[in-house]
A and B are shown apart, each in its own frame.
Chain A
Amino acid sequence: MRSEAFSAEAISAAASADTLRLLTCGSVDDGKSTLIGRLLYDSQLLMEDQVAELESDSKKHGTAGDDIDFALLVDGLEAEREQGITIDVAYRFFATPRRRFIVADTPGHIQYTRNMATGASTADLAILLVDATKGVLTQTRRHALIVSLLGVREIVLAVNKMDLVDFDPQVFDQIVADFEAFAAQIAIDKITAIPISARHGDNISKGSDRTPNYAGPTLLEHLERVAPQNRAADTPLRMPVQWVCRPNQSFRGFAGPVVSGRVAVGDEIVAAASGRTSHIARILVGETERKSAANGESVMVTLTDEIDLSRGDVIAAKESRPQLSDQFAADIVWMDAEHLLPGRPYLLKSMARTVPVQVTELKYRTDVDTMEHNAAKVLELNEIGVVNLATAEPIAFDPYEENRDTGGFILIDRFTNHTVAAGAIRFALRRASNIHWQALDVDRAARARLKHQLPTVLWFTGLSGSGKSTVANLVEKRLYSRGRHTIVLDGDNVRHGLNRDLGFTDVDRVENIRRVAETAKLMTDAGLIVLVSFISPFRSERQLARELMPEGEFLEVFVDAPIDVCRTRDPKGLYARADAGEIKNFTGVDSPYEPPEAPDLRLDSAAEEPDALAERVIAHLESLGRLAAE
């Protein structure tokens, strides 16, 4: 297929051909990499030096006896070649005179499911491989479910290794029936089943005389003919603003991709966040002035009016606006080794917008084998579930099934910066327009004024036995003697009342701190100086508490003592019990403590006496002006 393409015209034609993005997925050893290698080899896109290298690699690492091991073409990482498995998604390119293909070859092992999801998120079509000798497996179902969750509606069920079952049509029919029974429960529009042998080339680019009962197309024929979905063309205009271009006073352009619909000069548009409307004045693609642009293009537009619009906003069709909400139900695939903890603050990125978010409720986990919904406290790596989310600010969105770009999001861990989840918004739990804060005349500033003080949270964190409560009580005495209105929230006391229902698992620890932080906030609204004395082992939750408070009103005090010192003090005998195994999940013993990286104040309780430390807290408050009379 190279021979006729020797002219510049042919090059241009090849480049203007359309593209099909697809992925290969399925369980371990079902032959995904071998299939891609076979497609590259059959379409004669391999160069001589690559074939030579492949032959020499096949002798060294190959798993196909004396034959060429096509998988070695795509398994490019050292660890992959040594272990003979695929770890991460590989992107490969090939072309026929009809079409160009971008192929994501994804791993089958369950621990690399997130890499499989990476490949699926941009695919138009999925080739799901099944080993004819093994049939439909749990991992086959998991991949089908992820593929459908991520919006791939077109599936090729490639029943591979037919040579190992003597091309028995009954085996093929049974696997197809099994899969269709499962697929009926998930959102897939079209399934095309093809019996193949990737190793021997049956029904890949050439038909096979060993499958007389099969009358359908070869895999390559099907890939050339299938009409890729372009649902984005039929949905209303959505253009997230990525970047505002202000080279001079007379130009204010908004750069971003047209993720759905189309945009034309003169169109009336709306800024989704503010609801302000304007018209499109100009459209630029590079230096080229355009009358209109289609979905998929990266454009720069200017508007006829100066309306408030910045990165993260969405330009939308006026007659069909996206929804705006700060609470959602969403499907998520969890992708991090650290579990999803409801209540923990994460970041949500959707289009060009990144906002703080909490999972307010884990509604259920989906059992991949049975599709049953099971109650769960956490989601573990590669688990799939449905959650409720609350963002710190309302965001514009469309349900994922209507728009992949405006309904898809990722969650990011605030401290490791890992991408921990992929999500798809189902629907809003409430509309932002329904949220009304009661505007009160007597506000927090008024209450504080009456007390002649600046409300402040002093958050004491540290190991059990580090001296948090001792120091907090001494600080409170000193504040009281100065006529300040204070309250101490102590871990032990709060756990006897407000948080009586919580235990010591990670999930419960997160909720414990969330409630205390909210309580502290209400008390500062009342004008109090709040001294919180909690182990609060996780940075994320301490950060959450900080962000609830206005800038400067939250001071993190790290009461620092080596664990050996705390253990020796052991005022409540807890370390002894934890060491004896009587208490589980004890911080510092079998549950981690994440020390603050930049506390406002660090108190070394092994080096100084409690009175001296309390004095230092008071001195710090004075130096910040927080004890000045209002």
Chain B
Amino acid sequence: MSDRLSHLERLEAESMHIMREVAAEARHPVMLYSIGKDSSVMLRLAIKAFHPAPPPFPLMHINTTWKFREMIAFRDKTAAEAGMELISYTNQDGLDAGFNPFDHGSNYTRIMKTEALKQALDKHGFDAAFGGARRDEEKSRAKERIFSFRSASHAWDPKNQRPELWRLYNMRVNDGESMRIFPLSNWTELDIWAYILKEAIPIVPLYFAGERPVVMRDGQWIMVDDERMRLAPGETPEMRSIRFRTLGCYPLTGAIESSADTLEAIVAEMMAARTSERGGRLIDKEASASMERKKREGYF
């Protein structure tokens, strides 16, 4: 028989290998869990990598308080089923100061996501954090190592990355420094969906089309998920059959009109799509180099 693994098998084996290296070498690892489809795949791979033991690290969610309500419900159910500890962290100072996605734009992202993440990592003393980012998402991501070194201030230095040879990962850090680890680096959006299909991985229902209240803003459908949504004069929510390709803070996440209500239909729609998935994220549109800047500041 042929011993060549299929594309998905090869990706799965690589991700499991990466996770086991971290479990063996990090003092205090954590898995960043953002509740999206990539996080769902990452969690599934972690369960596989360590079975029959549970994954030897907690899950952590950076909660801006502006996530879709369905995401939070899904998060709590998933962590409980995996038998893993779930840490939810919110930047309370930022919340108290009133930072919100309507008034503060990129500052909101910096305070409630980047700063919150740094605070949470420092508070718990994590020296290694898994993230579900993929190299096909964005150009600066394509340049990042699987094991990405961060200074004591959590900064990424893209011009000075450690060489990463074979499957030998150097995750040695001094006190205060840390590693971000991206086990899905070599997966594409298509791979993620194919794996969800193959493994029947549960995902947040918002990925499936449904009638939801939305308003049109800057050419994007924004869902009115709760009463905090600020409506401009003349804006009236209407019911549309929509779904999401990525999930984040609801006022910043654009939906697409769709009737795809099964995994197969989603995949078919994605194959025919002519825009990339990050097109739906308002924060990524500010400048094509904005992701790199955010990562230098400590963003995932």
Contact = CB atoms under 8 A, between A and B. Distances in A.
Contacts of B228: none
A351 B168 CA distance: 6
Contacts of A53: 288
B53 A245 contact: yes
Contacts, number: 213
B136 interface: yes
Contact of A74 (B6, B139, B174): B139
A253 B20 CA distance: 13
Contact of B142 (A19, A90, A230, A257): A90
A361 to B, nearest CB: 23
Contact of A417 (B7, B20, B172, B267): B172
B170 A349 contact: yes
A50 B161 contact: no
A486 to B, nearest CB: 36
Contacts of B271: 2, 5-6, 10-11
A119 to B, nearest CB: 9
Interface in B150-183: 158-159, 161-168, 170, 172-174
Interface string A278-299: 0000001111000000111110
Contact of B51 (A92, A287, A409): A287
A7 to B, nearest CB: 7
A311 interface: yes
A50 B276 contact: yes
Contacts of A243: 20, 23-24, 50
B21 A12 contact: no
Interface residues of A, number: 85
B201 interface: no
Contacts of A410: 163, 165, 168, 170
Nearest to B146: A91
A412 B186 CA distance: 25
A203 interface: no
A76 B142 contact: yes
Nearest to A150: B165
A15 B268 contact: no
Contact of A419 (B162, B185, B198, B292): B162
Interface string A6-49: 11101110111111000000000000000000000000000111
A219 B158 CA distance: 31
B275 A419 contact: no
Interface stretch (A77-85, A522-530, A616-624): A77-85
B208 interface: no
Interface stretch (B98-106, B125-133, B188-196): B188-196
B13 A296 contact: yes
A88 B158 contact: yes
A47 B197 contact: no
Contact of B267 (A11, A50, A122): A11
- Which of A242, A253, A257 has the most B CB atoms < 10 Å from its CB? A242
A357 to B, nearest CB: 14
B234 interface: no
A183 B5 CA distance: 31
B273 A47 contact: yes
Interface stretch (A110-118, A266-274, A459-467): A110-118
A47 B168 contact: no
Interface in B37-54: 47-54
Contacts of A230: 3-4
Interface residues of B, number: 73
Nearest to A256: B20
B136 A405 contact: no
B51 A74 contact: no
A64 interface: no
Nearest to B134: A93
A297 B9 contact: yes
A15 B185 contact: no
B136 A296 contact: no
Nearest to A413: B172
B194 to A, nearest CB: 4
B17 interface: yes
B258 to A, nearest CB: 15
Contacts of A418: 162
B138 A408 contact: no
A387 B49 CA distance: 37
B67 interface: no
Nearest to B194: A15
Contacts of B273: 47
Contacts of A405: 166-167
Interface in B193-237: 193-195, 197-198
Contacts of A91: 135, 142, 185-186
A122 B166 contact: yes
B5 A294 contact: yes
Contacts of A19: 7, 10
B263 A297 contact: no
B136 A93 contact: yes
Of listed A50, A90, A245, A298, residue having the most chain B CB within 10 A: A298
A285 B48 contact: yes
A57 B163 CA distance: 29
A255 interface: yes
B167 A257 contact: yes
Interface in B5-41: 5-10, 12-14, 16-17, 20-21, 23-24
A467 B180 CA distance: 45
B97 interface: no
A257 B17 contact: yes
Contacts of B274: 47-48
B80 interface: no
A2, A92, A245, A295: most-surrounded residue (chain B CB, <10 A): A245
B140 interface: yes
B277 to A, nearest CB: 9
A275 B7 CA distance: 35
A297 B170 CA distance: 21
A350 interface: yes
A102 B6 contact: no
Contact of B289 (A8, A78, A257): A78
Contacts of A90: 135, 139, 142-143
Contacts of A79: 158-159
Nearest to B25: A354
Interface string A45-82: 00111100100010000000000000001111111010
A129 interface: no
Contacts of A75: 139
A89 interface: yes
Contacts of A121: 164-166
Contacts of A73: 139
Nearest to A6: B268
B238 interface: no
Contacts of A311: 24
Nearest to B289: A78
B17 A6 contact: no
A601 B264 CA distance: 68
B7 A17 contact: yes
A525 B9 CA distance: 55
B168 A93 contact: no
A251 interface: yes
A108 to B, nearest CB: 15
B142 A92 contact: yes
Interface string A399-410: 000001100111
| Residue of A93, A114, A262 ringed by the most chain B CB atoms within 10 A | A93
A418 B161 CA distance: 9
13 contacts: A2-B271, A47-B274, A49-B275, A53-B288, A115-B161, A117-B165, A121-B164, A256-B17, A257-B167, A262-B3, A287-B52, A296-B13, A409-B168
Q: What 9 A-B pairs are tightest by C-beta distance, nearest first?
A: A76-B139, A286-B48, A298-B16, A15-B194, A247-B53, A121-B165, A8-B264, A16-B6, A294-B3
Given A75-B139, A296-B5, A408-B165, 15 more contacts: A11-B197, A11-B267, A16-B7, A47-B275, A76-B139, A89-B143, A230-B3, A246-B53, A251-B52, A257-B13, A287-B48, A298-B13, A298-B16, A347-B172, A419-B163
